[in-house]
A and B are shown apart, each in its own frame.
Chain A
Amino acid sequence: MKIHRCFLAALIQAAFLTISSPAAHAQEPATDGYVTRKEYEDLKAQMLAMKKELEALKKEKGEVSKQERLESHAVADVQKQVAPKQQTAESQVTGDMHKEVVAEAAPSLAELEASLLGTTKFLLAGWAEGMYEQRNGQVSTFSASFNPIFLWELTPKILFDGRLEIEPSGGGTNVNLVNAQISYLLNDYIAFGVGEFFSPSNVFVERFEPQWINKLPDRPIGVYHGVLPNISVGAQVRGGFPIGPTRADYAFYVSNGPVLNTFDARTAGTLDFNSYTDNNDNKAVGGRVGFLPIPGVEVGYGFETSKPGFQGTTFADLQALVQSVDLEVTRDSDLLKGRINLFAQYAWSHVDHAVYDPDGSLGFGPLPLTAKRDGGYAEIAYRPTKLDIDFLRNLEMIFRWDHLSADPSGLGDPSETRWTLGLNYWLSPSTVVKAAYEWDQPNGERNRNALFFQTAMGF
């Protein structure tokens, strides 16, 4: 019985093996080393397709490599251009080109720098000052001003110059426009200007008015405070030209003229030059001619003629004439171990005869008057620039006489004559510390002597 069970188990096992063997053959068909024709053809087609695909990839890779090599060669050439020492014979031409480019670029660097700043040239110049004044009969006071000058050179022929005057006053700050002029250089000898400018008839305001140039703390009364115009609004033509070994210069202008004072007894007949808008259609005409016989010496004559009366009044046809003569001498002297400056200017004004307040309605007329006024100054300065001691070289001594006649009506300010002695110390060519004492004795009044301390800087 036991044998029968073993036989039956063997028989079942054999049956399983018999049943399971076809399935095993179906999963591993080439286990016996043979393939069907169809399998062979499929495999062959796949292999050929793969071969073609491989060839295509190789070709594509080859082209990419070639391009990379070309690019790397180009980079190497550029590097050789940048480093001329590593130039090969092939890159010699490129090196020469590099040199040419560098040679052309070198001068253009300055141009490039200039072009970055623009083609116009701008400069903020000017001057500033601070002063202490103690005058007899008046309250002592400090004062200060800042005077920026704006210069724009649009082209080498066109220039704008404008100047402001900014100063504290009372509880605020005064800002005045002093200059605003556009000028054009026609040629070496002629320049035109239009706008607001220092009056060419008054050489003091044109050349010596800035406080770092004016050698004393205050300005001469004769030419700065009444007889001559300081600022004109109009147009001018000016220049200089050689006459053999000498030189002459000129400036002529047309401008809004002065205004004749007619309403006040004290100032009747005087000219108000501080009104920059005109009071009639008649324009003032003026100018100055100068002559320089030798370097450092100039003599000049200035004038302005105008009709200063208000249009439509009895004063409309009155003629006014102001004239001025001036002398400037600057000389370095070995004999005096220094530099001497001599400046002198004297001016006269004349207004035709008229009757002021003819009907007495203003309370001081009738006042018949031919208004005349005059004033001027003379100044001498010495600076021992040729001495060996720095401290002494920076000192400068100044003496000035200045004068202004009485108001023409005889009812206003009396004549005034001042004598001023000054001592300056120059901290730099354009920075000065000034000390001065002024003897001021208006005719018939008590003295107005004054002590000044001032620092001024030009920039």
Chain B
Amino acid sequence: MIPTLNRSLVAAFVVLFVSMGLSLFAEPKNAHRKAATNSSGAVSSDSYMGLSGEELWSNNCMRCHNLRPPTMYSNAQWDVIVHHMRLRANITGQEQRAIVEFLKSAK
């Protein structure tokens, strides 16, 4: 009985997540990208998969935690932090460079 209940709960959560995810992503993708660009205006020249440095910063960092403002750390500190986060989040070297470029230019 208990294992059956647990499986049902897991299945319910999976269905819940998938349905919520689908409803959320039903919104126009451009709306998000427009907002990301308008918020600072700084778009990295080293874009990757069509995303600017700011969008990569927002998408990758916000998956786990709140975004910390670019002014919170020095350029050298951002170099170290994004290097560390590249290893933790498995982002590519191109993404790392684009994010660092954005963070330094956004100050």
Contacts and interface: CB of A to CB of B under 8 A. Distances in A.
Interface string A334-345: 111001101010
A342 B6 contact: no
Contacts of A352: none
Contact of A191 (B9, B29, B79, B87): B87
A159 B66 contact: no
A142 interface: no
Interface in A419-459: 426, 429-430, 443, 458
Given A207-B64, A251-B90, A294 B25 contact: yes
Nearest to A328: B63
A226 interface: no
A188 B93 contact: yes
Interface in B57-98: 59, 62-69, 76-77, 79-81, 83-84, 86-95
A331 interface: yes
B82 to A, nearest CB: 10
Interface centre among B21, B65, B69, B86 (most CB of A within 10 A): B65
Interface string A282-306: 0000000010001111100000000
B20 interface: yes
Interface stretch (A38-46, A91-99, A238-246): A238-246
B2 A378 contact: no
Given A156-B83, A429-B67, A239 B90 contact: yes
Interface in B21-76: 21, 24-25, 27, 29, 31-32, 35, 48-51, 55, 59, 62-69, 76
B10 interface: yes
Interface in A277-327: 290, 294-298, 327
Interface residues of A, number: 67
Interface in A49-75: none
A331 B24 contact: yes
B9 A401 contact: yes
Contacts of A239: 90, 92
Interface residues of B, number: 47
A368 B77 CA distance: 56
Contact of B66 (A121, A153, A426): A426
A417 B10 CA distance: 12
A165 to B, nearest CB: 17
Interface in A339-361: 339-340, 342, 344, 346
Contact of B49 (A125, A242, A251, A378): A242
A267 interface: no
A193 interface: yes
Main secondary structure of the interface of A (DSSP, over half): strand
B65 A213 contact: yes
B84 A296 contact: no
A290 B90 contact: yes
Nearest to B93: A188
A344 B13 contact: yes
A245 B29 CA distance: 14
Nearest to A188: B93
Contact of B65 (A117, A241, A333, A430): A430
Contacts of B2: 415, 443
A241 B59 contact: no
Contacts, number: 138
A193 B89 CA distance: 14
A290 B89 CA distance: 10
A88 B31 CA distance: 63
B14 interface: yes
Interface centre among B2, B49, B93 (most CB of A within 10 A): B93
Contacts of A430: 65-66, 68
A273 interface: no
B76 A114 contact: yes
Nearest to B88: A206
B96 to A, nearest CB: 8
Given A342-B20, A378-B13, A430-B66, A189 B76 contact: no
Interface string A176-212: 0000000101011101010000000000001110001
Given A296-B59, A327-B17, A344-B14, A188 B84 contact: no
Contacts of A167: none
Contacts of B62: 296, 330, 339
A123 B80 contact: yes
Contacts of A417: 6
A421 B21 CA distance: 21
Given A121-B77, A185-B83, 8 more contacts: A188-B92, A189-B93, A239-B92, A240-B90, A245-B50, A250-B90, A327-B17, A342-B17
16 contacts: A121-B77, A121-B79, A123-B80, A161-B84, A191-B86, A239-B90, A239-B92, A241-B92, A245-B50, A249-B91, A327-B14, A331-B21, A342-B20, A380-B20, A417-B6, A430-B66
Lowest 3 A-B CB distances belong to which pairs?
A188-B93, A249-B90, A429-B66
